[in-house]
């Protein structure tokens, strides 16, 4: 469990829950941004407006560092100095960037990947078959747990989940995911991981065998937990996702589930 970083605010913009822009802001001296295709920090005074944009998702330092690492950038506590500046029109409109701004930030292709309905059906069918063959009350790998109550088919994912609990980040092994929630595992029993515990969000998920990352700007709740010598398993339910977030979860499951099954 790691504490949030100091006075700098980290914010993500996501398209269908896929992060494509990471900014750090502190009035009046810090306004910097990176993207997947532009991994070097740029100064941009238009970022001072970003915290007021309804599409911006505040994240912890640990969550921001995970996104930056996926783009090949190591995030440090200290702010970069002497970086190039992005010259733009003012005021910035982060919900409707111009083509020139998207080009400068390297995000022209954000969100163009579509989910194949056939691949998603096949993946759900294979996972449902595997779940049906597992003994009742198991996690599919021999561990026992509280009976599953999800309304959605879960897909097993090898990865990490970075969850916000009050003012701290819980980083846990991601075991499976559905459109309604997820299942995680920790090697110990940390404070705050108990049934009915609220998670303030966002949820940042990453898959080990794919480059996919998912940012869900919603709140959630720990529904159940089960501890053994192997660690603590716990299940999380999401608040209602919007259409873009549901699309993002489906895309993430297809990418992570397909790669997992092909190893």
Buried b (16+ CB within 10 A) or exposed e, 141-165: eeeebeebebeebbbbbbbbbbbbb
Q: Which residues of the chain have pLDDT under 50?
A: 2-5, 111-113, 132-148, 261-263
Cα atoms in the Cβ-side hemisphere of radius 13 Å centred on 76: 6
What is this structure's pTM? 0.80
- Helix (H) / strand (E) containing 233: strand 231-238
Q: Is 201 left (phi over 0), alpha (psi -120 to 50) or beta?
A: left
Looking at residue 118, its pLDDT comes to 64
* Residue 17, phi then psi, degrees to nearest 5: 70, 5
Q: Does domain 117-261 have CATH number 2.40.10.220?
A: yes
Residues in CB range of 99: below 8 A, 6 or more apart: 108
Looking at residue 127, its pLDDT comes to 57
Question: For the segment 216-234, what is each residue's pLDDT rounded down to a tens digit?
Answer: 999 999 999 998 888 899 9
Q: Could you tell me the residue ranges of all domains in the chain?
A: 2-105, 117-261
- Between CA 143 and CA 45 the distance in angstroms is 51
Looking at residue 166, its pLDDT comes to 75
Looking at residue 115, its pLDDT comes to 54
Looking at residue 10, its pLDDT comes to 97
């Amino acid at each position: 469990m790691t504490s949030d970083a100091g006075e700098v605010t980290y914010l993500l913009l996501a398209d269908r829950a896929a992060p494509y822009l990471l900014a750090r802001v502190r009035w009046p001296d810090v306004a910097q941004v990176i993207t997947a295709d532009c991994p070097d920090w740029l100064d941009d005074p238009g970022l001072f407006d970003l915290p007021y944009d309804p599409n911006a998702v505040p994240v912890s330092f640990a969550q921001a560092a995970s996104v930056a690492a996926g783009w090949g950038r190591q995030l440090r506590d200290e702010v970069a100095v002497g970086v190039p500046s992005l010259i733009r029109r003012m005021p910035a409109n982060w919900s409707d960037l111009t083509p020139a701004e998207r080009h400068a930030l390297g995000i022209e292709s954000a969100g163009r990947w579509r989910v194949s309905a056939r691949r998603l059906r096949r993946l759900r069918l294979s996972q449902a078959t595997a779940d049906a063959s597992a003994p009742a009350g198991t996690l599919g790998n021999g561990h026992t747990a509280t009976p599953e109550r999800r309304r959605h088919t879960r897909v097993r994912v090898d990865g990490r989940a970075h969850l916000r609990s009050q003012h701290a980040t819980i980083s846990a092994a991601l075991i499976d995911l559905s459109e309604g929630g997820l299942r995680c595992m920790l090697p110990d029993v940390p404070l705050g991981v108990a049934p009915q515990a609220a998670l303030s969000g966002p949820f940042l998920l990453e898959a080990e065998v794919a480059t996919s990352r998912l940012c869900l700007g919603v709140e959630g709740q720990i529904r159940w937990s089960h501890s053994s010598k192997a660690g603590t398993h716990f299940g999380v339910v999401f608040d209602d996702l919007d259409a873009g977030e549901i699309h993002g979860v489906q895309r993430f499951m297809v990418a992570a589930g397909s790669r997992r099954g092909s190893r």
